[in-house]
Every structure is written in C-alpha cells, then in structure tokens.
Amino acid sequence: MDVRLVACRDPAPAPDSRSDARPQSPWLPVSHPSSTAAPFRREVRTTAVLAAPLVLGHLSTGLIGFVDSVIAGHHGTTTLAAVAVGTALFWLPMMIPMGTLMALPPSVSQLDGAGRRAEIGAVFRQSLWLAAGLGVLLFAFLTLAVHALAPMGIAPEIRPGATAFLHGIRWGVPALTLYYAMRYLSDGLHWTLPTMVLGFGGLLLLVPLGYVLAFGAFGLPELGAGGLGYASAIMIWCQAIAFFVYLRRAPRFADLALFARFDPPSWTTIAGLLRTGLPIGVTVMMEGSLFIVTALLIGRLGEIPAAAHQIAINVASLCFMIPFGVAEATTVRVGHAVGSARGSVGVRRAAFAGLVLVLATQALSGLVLLLGHEAIVGIYTRDLAVSGLAAVLLLYAAAFQFPDGIQVLSAGALRGLKDTRVPMFLAAFAYWGVGMPLGAGLGLGLGWGTRGMWIGLIAGLGVAALLMGARFLRSSRDPRLMAG
C-alpha cells in the first residue's frame, strides 16, 4: 500500500441538479444510487489508508503499556499493581493536554481543505507554545500527586512503587506534549506514517531499556517500577527529538516553513486553540478518568484486584487503539470536507465511512476477547488468583467493544466539525452521571468488587455512544454545511 495516497484529495462531487428538497440518505441520492455509491467506497478506502498508520501507531503506544505490564508482572505482583496505579495517576492529568492539542488536526485540515496552507505554520508555532505550557503544568502536578496516594486509600504495599514510577515518568512529560503538537500537525495534513514509525521505534527502545532498569543489569541497580518510569521518559524524549528532526527535513512540509522563524506567543491564536481544544481535553478526560478512577478505586481493594484490573484494562486499551485511530482519521476527513465546502453530504459520507470501519474492527476485537481471554491473560502473569479474575474481566471488555467504538468515532466526527462544547457536557453526564455512580455503587457499595466497577464502565460507554451519535446526526444537518 502506497502511503503517499493519503495526501491525495478526493475529486469534487458532481453538481447536484435536483430541484426537490426532500430528505435524503447521507450519501445516496434518491434517483441514482450508483452515482454516489462509488464516492462512498472511495471515502472508505481513503479513510482506511489514512487510519492504518494511526491505528498501528496507537497500537504501538498501547504496546508500551503492555511492555510495562509484562515486565512489571514478571518482576512481581506488587510491582504490577504499583505500575497500574502509577499509570492511572499519570494519564489522569495527561488527558487534558492531549485532548486540548487535538484542536490542531481539525484546524489544520480545514485550512488545508480551503487552500490556505500558508497559514498553517503560524498556527503550528503557537501550538508549540501551548504544548510547552501544558507540559510544565503537568510536570508540576505529577511532582505533587505522589502525596495523594495515602489520602486516596491506595494500599500501603503499592505506594512506594507507584511513587517511584511517577518520579521517573514525569521527566518525559514536556517532551510528550511537544510530541503531540508535532504529531497532530502531521496527522491533520493527511500524513500519518510518522506516527506509526516513531511509535514502533519507541517500543523497540523501551523493551530492552525497561527490562534493564527494572531488573538491573550491566551494573545498574534494580529499580522495579521506578525503572519502568525512567525508561518511558527516555523513550518519549527520543520520539520527540526524532519528530522535530523529521519535520525540519521532510520535503512535504517545506512549503509550510514550520521552523523558519521565531514567533512570540500570540494570545489570540492560543485562545482560539483553547476554545476548540479545551472542551476536547475535558471530554477525553471524562472518558479516560472513568477508567483511571476505576483503577484507583480498585487499588483500594488490594494488590490482586489491582493487578487483575491492570491486565484487563491494558488489553482493552489495546483494542481501543484501533477505533481511536479510525476516529482521528475521521476527524481529518470531516474537517477536510468542511474546509473544501462539500456540504453536509460530504461530512456525513466521511463520518459513515469511519463508522463502517469501526464496526468491523470492534466485531473482530470482541471475538478475540471472547475466544482468547484465558490465553491472553497467560502472557501477563503466572499468578492463578490474578489470572482467574483478569480472564473474567476480559469478558466484560468484550461486552463494551461496540459502544466504545461508536462513541469514540462519533466524538472524532464532531471534532472535525469543531463541535466540542456540547459533547463535553454529554461525556460528563455519560461517564460521571451514569458510569461512575453505577460502578461505585455496585463495586464498593454492594460489595461486587472489580466486576461491579466494570459494569459501570459498560453502562457509561453505552450512554455515551447513544448521546454522541445523536449529537453528530444533529450537528451534521447544520445549514451552514450546505454551502458546498
């Protein structure tokens, strides 16, 4: 597959000569079904080619968590539980800057679709200022977060390892926010190959480095969970530096003059990115924090439930990386349709193409979890108590594959429209008005433990899928999109 195809634009749709204004299918005209079936198939292919490197890149990111969990699991159950809690506390605040910087792909893709590429470099340079500021704030937060472990009720045997993990990984935070800014620029311009290459490159570095620092080798001390934190930080810096070098030298970005001059902060541009991006950040945090706070609450139940949850959530996260990559590609395609004035038909075509891909991937993920849950758990640990509970939790993960895929795809399509404020409130209701109260009530209130908490996850994702999908159907009927 020639990845250069992702930079190609679709041909403009033929003029519509219909005189009636009757409601129609999002992409199929009433009188000539075959005339637009071909554009939809092209859209599916374009989205698939654009999404493939993103999916592989996200899978490499998920495999980083897999590597950490496997190394920690073989180091000991307490180490695995510590990494589970440390990872949760790392990603809880990280959701905000990561989501906020997601304002860049729709902004860039709309400028590109409208033929205003000359403006992209200035927007990107302001996104770097925003990323740097968010990175500094997050570093300070993680420095202080270790003092919250005891008040949160984390089991005493888990706290030292979780603290060591956070002390190590926090040094990679400034590089991670800058990496996201560079990555989202490239993704928004239909060039997703660097995400895949640098993702797997980081993984190849982490495997030996994490093992050496966790177990101790070549004269280095055995650092356990802390070693995995430092290994992750080193890997993140290497990825960020490599992306910077690539953007400076790649011919495809030369016309953008990304680093041709130094721009001081423009608060107007940064405020515009924040208006679009901060609601995305809050929305991402609403979903991510549902999983993260669930992990922290399960951490209060002891090391076996915490370790089992870490295994199951790591596998579920790997499955999630596939629809997440498709959703990001859909964001770009929807944004491009808006910028090129293709109207609501083009917008819906892009969204439904992503939906077709997501339904297929989620069916496959659910089948793998149903048939292979015991074999998957055996990769992580030999502890029978941990593996037995983790295998059951993977069956719960299979149950939320479809709602999880639909909600993330709908959210991605809404980002392409820059419709981010209302989805933020919908996410808050679904995850924290339904999912968390139900999970906590069943898991802690009624004593159902880990299983009760996972029922809450399923409920929250199901409600989010319904609300986000309905919101996109409404927003995509906006008359302003009919200009095309």
Q: How much of the chain exceeds pLDDT 90, in percent?
A: 23
Cα 92 to chain centroid, rounded: 13
Q: Which residue has the higher pLDDT, 81 or 442?
A: 442
**Long-range pairs, 284-287, Cβ under 8 A, ≥24:** 284/95, 284/96, 284/98, 284/99, 284/102, 285/92, 285/95, 285/96, 285/99, 286/424, 286/427, 286/428, 286/430, 286/431, 286/432, 287/407, 287/427, 287/431, 287/460, 287/464
Rounded CA-CA distance 306/309 in Å is: 5
Task: Give alpha helix (H) positions in 117-262.
Answer: 120-145, 159-169, 173-188, 193-215, 225-249
Distance of CA 444 to the CA centre of its chain: 28
pLDDT digits (tens, 9 = 90+) for 264-275: 888 888 888 888
Contacts (Cβ under 8 Å, ≥6 apart) of 243: 179, 182, 183, 186, 194, 198
pLDDT at 30: 39
Question: Could you tell me the two tokens for 95?
Answer: 């959701």
Q: Give the pTM.
A: 0.71
Give how far Cα 430 sits from Cα of 89, 319, 463, Å.
22, 21, 5
**Is the Cβ–Cβ distance between 11 and 42 less than 8 Å?**
no
User: What confidence tier does 478 reach under pLDDT thresholds 50, 70, 90?
Assistant: low
28, burial (CB in 10 Å: exposed 0-12, middle 13-18, buried 19+): middle
Q: How far is CA 175 from CA 59, 65, 434, in A?
A: 20, 18, 35
- pLDDT higher than threshold 70 for residue 35: no
Query: For residue 174, what are its two tokens?
Result: 């400034």
pLDDT digits (tens, 9 = 90+) for 114-164: 778 888 888 899 999 999 999 999 999 998 888 888 887 777 888 888 899
- Nearest to residue 60, comparing CAs of 267, 218, 199? 199
Predicted pLDDT at 115: 77
The closest alpha carbon to 461, from 481, 483, 438, belongs to 438
Give the pLDDT of residue 37: 67
| C-alpha span between 332 and 156 (Å, rounded) | 46
- The candidate with the shortest Cα–Cα distance to 27, out of 460, 345, 363, 476, is 345
Q: What angle do the packed helices 173-188 and 193-215 form, to 10 degrees?
A: 160
Distance separating alpha carbons of residues 302 and 314, to the nearest angstrom: 18
For 203, phi then psi, to 5°, come to -65, -40
Q: What is the pLDDT of residues 320-377, one digit of tens each?
A: 888 988 998 888 888 888 776 666 777 888 888 889 999 999 999 999 998 988 888 8
pLDDT digits (tens, 9 = 90+) for 406-434: 999 999 899 888 888 888 899 999 999 99
Whether the CB-CB separation of 226 and 168 falls below 8 Å is answered with: yes
Per-residue confidence band for 187, with pLDDT thresholds at 50, 70 and 90:
confident
CB atoms within 10 A of CB 166: 23
Angle at 317 between CA 312 and CA 320, to 5 degrees: 130
DSSP 261-275: S-----HHHHHHHHH
Say yes or no to pLDDT of 306 above 70: yes
pLDDT of res. 461: 93
Residue 2 has pLDDT above 70, yes or no: no
User: Closest by alpha carbon to 130, among 174, 164, 167?
Assistant: 174
Which amino acid is located at 98 in the chain? M
- Which range, of 12-21, 52-61, 287-296, 471-480, averages the lowest pLDDT? 12-21
Check residues 269 and 58 and name the one with the higher pLDDT. Answer: 269
Q: Which DSSP category does 442 fall into?
A: I
Highest mean pLDDT of the ranges 8-17, 167-176, 188-197, 254-263: 167-176
The residues near 363 (Cβ < 8 Å, ≥ 6 apart) are 401, 402
Q: Please give the average per-residue pLDDT across 93-101, as a whole number.
A: 84
pLDDT tens profile 205-256 = 998 998 899 888 787 888 888 899 999 999 999 999 999 999 999 998 888 8
Give residue-wise pLDDT tens across range 444-455.
Answer: 888 888 888 899
Task: Select from 241, 309, 283, 255 the least CA-distant residue to 415.
Answer: 283
CA pair distance 346, 271, nearest whole angstrom: 29
- 91 and 350 Cβ atoms separated by less than 8 Å: no
Q: What is the mean pLDDT of the chain?
A: 82
For the cut 60, the answer to whether the pLDDT of residue 305 exceeds it is yes
> CA-CA distance, 290 to 459, in Å (whole number)?
11
CA atoms lying within 13 Å on the CB side of residue 85: 36
Higher pLDDT, 241 or 300: 241
Domain boundary assignment for the chain? 43-478
Phi-psi region of 103 (alpha: psi -120 to 50; beta: other; left: phi over 0): alpha
